[in-house]
Structure 1
């Protein structure tokens, strides 16, 4: 029943089955709002991906508000009013500081807790102007109306940046706009209306009515000098995935494949017990989608680097084909993504990484490459591999290297990625455990009455510490260490 309700709500929200207020229905195809510009329901804002289209509501209905915080007024809001220049000149704003705009998405407003959590982390990290953008008057149902309203909100942010430049001494290159879901596309419109905007961070940009549309309609790399995007909920909307899987930045980060985040499989009762009725309901319906702003928030002051690995696919990343990441092959998801920027004209550089299921989410990555020997009598077996990695600063115990059984062929090398919540330091040795598992479809893997002793022969293990690029090559006591099913062997000899 719960799933049916969620599906119904999604259809209602995403496809506009709830009609807007009568005052917002427009028969004409365009509308102008003074210095915020004119808006049309025609192409490219009408397409096969946008079959239902509304004109944006009036700015006074959307009621966009700009809440300024600095280290001098961390807990006391100062409102910036675009119609009152004194609200800028007599404010704590300083053009000598970098400026962060942060905005929300569908069904939220400027008072939601996560916006203020990010504001607090920013002010802890450095001396910023932090401006929370609330547009709760225009972010409600139907979703199709909210998507149209994002265009006006983006224009209002662009206007505010011009006013801060004129009356506060700001520089657009020092401005960074961060938006979640619909807010990511708001940020894109703000950038399209601002020359030389420094940076946009899209936090799981909304999929419905944006994915596969013309770049003018959605966030894209032309919207700022640097656009970085975190994708966390890229499943199809038919499977209740709310975020884009389509790359739309200079760099695009795909934690945990960019679709299903660890820890997001709780049922509705468990979610409500942990987070309360409102937040628990949100977590149950949109946990993957919300993870993007949680990851970004943690990245601001995390000692763990949130390192991502440039790769052409998540599968190849998981096979350890993209580590080590020398020569600029690493990125840093979150606030510090601007430490690594692609060459001019390069877009959609894709990075992959893993996270934990609970905060703190950041993980240290290790690639484990196992080379299997092929002595006389060696056979191909299917089963599970486990590794315990011991280092100078910690250990990672009995980690299963893949969810599914691995078919191990003699003479082949297989790569895996494992993670640790802590930096293990210099790797000293590795324990390898092997468990045979037969396949119903492969009679050669059967072992009736345990008459055979399925064994694998490991000749060499290479461990790469992803964050430091340090490599450790380890061998067993013999050139082909023999491991029977359920057995464990230690690899500590440098080779």
Structure 2
């Protein structure tokens, strides 16, 4: 079993054991998925606590439905937008630290807003199938809370933004579907919406685009084992973001468990297990704290196509910003967007498509050399970039791939392209020289790199690079060639 399989296995085992131990409750939870009747609840029966975040020693102030004086006491401002944070399944019955970090980030960057934490711990701190069943109850209570705000202080539900993590994403969806009237909640953001007991369900039984005027979701842990994934894999929003493919996240390797145990004690195991799942939360917080480093994602069919750099287009709204500052646009069909991120904050990287035209003069089977590049920009340089070719070099062909950089290097000026030679390749070339001798004045067979075309995803700039020396265009093991900006004759012909 690989480390990735072990990591997801640990968390999924908790869910499976919980489900098998409470099989009757699981059937009840699943059975309730098709029910859509709301029940009126008296305030004293509400399980959800609505805590208005305040940057004070107390941290929050509880608002009670049907008690107007608590709105004044907590300084709720009905003229300002409302952002409600909805946590997920609870293992220890305590509000997790990320909740307060997100609340603080929202207030620090957007002080003119109400930030409320929907505390449904009494319903979430249960065996997983029971917590799943309780998502509907909590959704009803949030809907009731928003309806009360509308009736009592004329707060418009269109100014409400629910941010739900894991099970909390589906809670938010149910709040949107249960709220009375024709008008919808303004926005719902699902942060790695939970997968078990929701994957494959109908839109009415999970978070869906119909639950708000605008719905976005970030999927960070959709790796499936035993038919389950911690986060839901299917699209559930108008825009569904899949950072690094959505299956797993950089920096969440099982080997980091030792560092986490040193930092958190035995709780460090839990920290490692939930690393990829909770990455969705920290990507969203990152979008609040680093306004100058917003991550761009691109519409694409799948991660393999994206890794070839074939989807870096922003034409016709094909790209969007991940996180709080997303461009809100209702679409008739869910749109999948992909991006790469770093393992730590700030998570933003810069995406580049490289298309390299290579001619292989050596006849026979494809060869698999290793290439690296160094790129010079107007702001910075990037050196020794590994080129991720996934196929052998054959004949006369153009190869496309994605390269990401951690920093903005500005406009590209020059590229140095190197064939990383090894003793094996040196011996192969010596063998070719023996078998196919060439006379003085003829060139030694090798690879010819005719042109390198680059597209920058973030700026949408396009560049073409040609060999600096046209007298020595052949590339051999251990050699490096310099390419400089030139005019793309193909593009020029298309403009005519």
Distance 1:314 1:198 in 2: 30
Change (3 A) 1:275 1:90: same
Alignment of 1:460-479 (within 5 A): 460-478=451-469
Q: Which residue of 1 aligns with 2:412?
A: 427
Q: Does 1:362 align with 2:348?
A: yes
Alignment of 1:95-106 (within 5 A): 95-106=78-89
Change (3 A) 1:427 1:268: closer
8 Å CA contact retained: 1:383, 1:405: no
Change (3 A) 1:301 1:192: same
Q: Which residue of 1 aligns with 2:168?
A: 183
Distance 1:5 1:426 in 2: 41
Distance 1:5 1:491 in 2: 44
Classify the secondary structure of the residue corresponding to 1:408: coil
Q: Does 1:308 align with 2:308?
A: no
- The number of residues matched between the two structures is 463
Once the two structures are superposed, residues 448-478 of structure 1 have per-residue CA deviations (whole angstroms, 9 ceiling, x without a partner) of 5852488321111112221111111111124
Q: Which residue of 2 aligns with 1:256?
A: 244
Classify the secondary structure of the residue corresponding to 1:166: helix
What's the CA shift for 1:231? 0.5
Q: Does 1:87 align with 2:70?
A: yes
Larger Rg belongs to: 2
Distance 2:469 2:360 in 1: 13
RMSD between superposed Cα atoms in Å: 3.5
Q: Which has the higher helix share?
A: 2
Q: TM-score, normalised by structure 2?
A: 0.84
- Which 4+ residue blocks in structure 1 deviate beyond 4 angstroms? 1-9, 24-27, 57-62, 374-379, 436-439, 445-450
Once the two structures are superposed, residues 246-303 of structure 1 have per-residue CA deviations (whole angstroms, 9 ceiling, x without a partner) of 1111110011000021111142642424641265222321221111101111011321
Point out where structure 1 has 5 or more consecutive residues left out of the alignment. Answer: 30-38, 47-56, 440-444
Once the two structures are superposed, residues 17-38 of structure 1 have per-residue CA deviations (whole angstroms, 9 ceiling, x without a partner) of 3449xxx9799x7xxxxxxxxx
* Greater mean alpha carbon deviation, residues 277-286 or residues 371-380: 371-380
Q: Which residue of 2 aligns with 1:282?
A: 270
Could you tell me which of 110, 114, 118 is aligned with 2:102?
118
Q: Which residue of 2 aligns with 1:49?
A: none
Q: Does 1:167 align with 2:169?
A: no
Change (3 A) 1:436 1:266: same
Point out where structure 2 has 5 or more consecutive residues left out of the alignment. Answer: 434-444, 488-496
Q: Which residue of 2 aligns with 1:34?
A: none
What's the CA shift for 1:163? 1.6
Q: TM-score, normalised by structure 1?
A: 0.84
Could you tell me which of 272, 282, 287 is aligned with 1:299?
287
Classify the secondary structure of the residue corresponding to 1:160: helix
Q: Which residue of 1 aligns with 2:449?
A: 458
Alignment of 1:32-431 (within 5 A): 41=31, 44=34, 63-69=47-53, 76-107=59-90, 111-126=95-110, 127-194=112-179, 195-238=183-226, 241-267=229-255, 269-273=257-261, 275-277=263-265, 280-302=268-290, 303-337=292-326, 339-343=327-331, 346-373=332-359, 380-402=366-388, 405-431=390-416
